[in-house]
Homo-oligomer: A and B are copies of this chain.
Amino acid sequence: MFMSATTIAPIKERAIEFWFDFASTYSYLSAMRIEDVANASGLQVIWKPFLLGPIFASQGWTSSPFNLYPAKGRYMARDMERITQARGLAFRMPDPFPQHSVAAARLALVGLEHAWGPTLCKAIFQAEFADGLTISEPATLHHCLDMIGARQSNEIAAASTDAIKSRLRALTQDAQINGIFGAPTIRTADGELFWGDDRLEQAVAWAQQL
């Protein structure tokens, strides 16, 4: 019952896939602007939540590279400050970082069965990176559903079904099979990957030429 067309069908032309992890700072940047950028070019956005954790683990990483490599982590925090300030976005580094994003990703998959899925995803990103809430806590996810006016109990229950758990695992496997190793990654209809919020415009331009 959760087998949505957007997940099962092959990627459509005139659309880009947006692969993201709710724990990822740069995914926040893209989530807040990707629909505007894509729609302005006549492209739809297919939201693809997945988990970086298993992909990092398969590379031997026990945490985010921003924790494993402190100079890189310090740079990322400053880079995020500069970019969010320039874009007028609120930002605070989650503490602890990274957040556990599995519950949020499962709930997002429920939401993405509905037209309000992208709105829910943005509400979760804002709760985490603008409001400093802990997205692994059920109260935060209830708050996000409440913010967008969705029925809380039904959606939270649906997020714990085996079907949704399997779907998130499958998406994470799909990501890895498709060569995705970081987030955000934009994937175009011809399978090209564009890694990082700073590649969004390039990805959209590429997709327009297909």
Contacts and interface: CB of A to CB of B under 8 A. Distances in A.
Interface of A: 59, 68-69, 71-72, 74-75, 78-79, 82, 176, 179-182, 192-193, 195-196, 198-199, 202, 206
B72 A181 contact: yes
A179 B59 contact: no
A179 B76 CA distance: 11
A59 B59 CA distance: 15
A198 B199 contact: yes
Nearest to A197: B198
A74 B195 CA distance: 12
Contact of A75 (B78, B181, B206): B181
A176 B70 CA distance: 12
A117 to B, nearest CB: 27
11 contacts: A59-B68, A59-B69, A71-B176, A71-B179, A71-B180, A72-B181, A75-B181, A75-B195, A82-B192, A82-B202, A198-B198
Contacts of A59: 68-69
A169 to B, nearest CB: 19
A38 B173 CA distance: 43
Contacts of A202: 82
B69 A193 contact: no
B181 A69 contact: yes
B179 A74 contact: yes
Nearest to A79: B195
Nearest to A196: B198
A69 B111 CA distance: 33
Nearest to A202: B82
A75 B193 contact: yes
A62 to B, nearest CB: 12
Contacts of A198: 196, 198-199
Contacts of A75: 179, 181, 193, 195
